[in-house]
Amino acid sequence: MHLPNKDVQKKSPDLCIGIIGLGHMGAVFARNLVNDGHRTLVFDRNRSKREGIVGAEPADTLECLKPCDIIFSSLPNDEALSSLTEGKHGLISFLKKGAIHISTSTVSPAISRHLSQLHTENGQSYVAAPVLGNPDLAAARKVFFMVGGAPDSVEKVSPLLNELGQHVFSMGEDPGHANLMKLAANVMIATTLESMGETLALLRKGGIPAELGFEVLTNSLFDSKVHKAYGGKILNERYRPAGMVVPLALKDMRLALTEAENTATPMPFVSLVRDRMVTMMARGWDTLDWSALGLLTSQDASLPSSSDLSDVLPKVSP
């Protein structure tokens, strides 16, 4: 089910909005909210990050977010989300009645269901709204949100989400379904990256320039955004700066495979890609973009690299 788009929804400029976590995505959301005229409070454990959002109010502690009607969290994993939400000094302990916590993090369905219950018990609401898209797309307001939560809460936050992205997909009342959908999408991207890396390596080894092969593939049957954008990173060996670093991608594969095991869903290709990411970690590629699956394939095929990756690639003797 699609939620109404931004053209038919009214903005709520009087909202006080908080942002927890000012990484690549959280910082972009904060800047866009400030530009829209919202009172925006920002918290990150890194002081320079929270003071670096021009026009926002830096929050020195989580408790400074008390005035907020809606709080976004953009955090790397279950542990970070849980530690900032639960406990004596967590978000739940001081968030006002009726306030809504929107988690844009890629986390497990289980943690979303758990936190949703805790928020409800404290008179608050929890909406899972993981994001499809990278920081560049977020800056252009072209990301997609997959949203799960109580219908009235989803209805309240959807105008705000439509300000920040190009479309909101409703995944129903179970917040875990929004997270499962995001994990499934990341599985599709990761397996596509592995497939494109292998294909481009085969073409190069066979004497066909990778640029020509990429042009044929992405201008015929494989013309999706994933093939063009991520395949372009592999083609140009553009693995820095990373949109999603390898450790986070590996975390997502692990979460997806946990759900697969829980539901008795065989996913052999995902298991392979997970192992490929473990290999990347073993090589010290933890700062590279997950599209470096293509680099791994080319290295396995003994193909030369034209990028300046001397800090992570084996040194070649003259």
23-51 residue pLDDT tens: 999 999 999 999 999 999 999 999 999 99
Q: pLDDT-based confidence at 150, cuts 50/70/90? A: very high
Laid out side by side, the sheet with 16-20 consists of 57-58, 39-43, 16-20, 70-73, 100-103, 125-128
Can you list the domains of the chain with their CATH numbers? 6-172 (3.40.50.720), 179-300 (1.10.1040.10)
Q: pLDDT-based confidence at 56, cuts 50/70/90? A: very high
Q: State pLDDT tens for residues 265-313.
A: 999 999 999 999 999 999 999 999 999 999 999 999 999 988 778 888 8
Contact 311, 233 (CB under 8 A): no
The β-bridge relationship of strands 131-132 and 125-128 is unpaired
Q: State pLDDT tens for residues 239-256.
A: 999 989 999 999 999 999
The β-bridge relationship of strands 144-147 and 131-132 is antiparallel
What average pLDDT score do residues 207-235 get? Answer: 96
pLDDT at 316: 52
CA distance 295 to 299: 6
CA distance 304 to 234: 13
Q: Give the CB-side neighbour count of residue 288, counting CA atoms within 13 A.
A: 27
Q: State pLDDT tens for residues 57-88.
A: 999 999 999 999 999 999 999 999 999 999 99
What's the whole-model pTM score? Answer: 0.92
pLDDT at 12: 54
**Active-site residue set:** 182
Q: State pLDDT tens for residues 97-122.
A: 999 999 999 999 999 999 999 999 99
* CA geometry: angle 124, 130, 135, nearest 5 deg: 125
* Residue 296: closest CA among 185, 181, 190: 190
Please state, for a pLDDT cut of 70, what percent of the chain lies above it.
Answer: 95
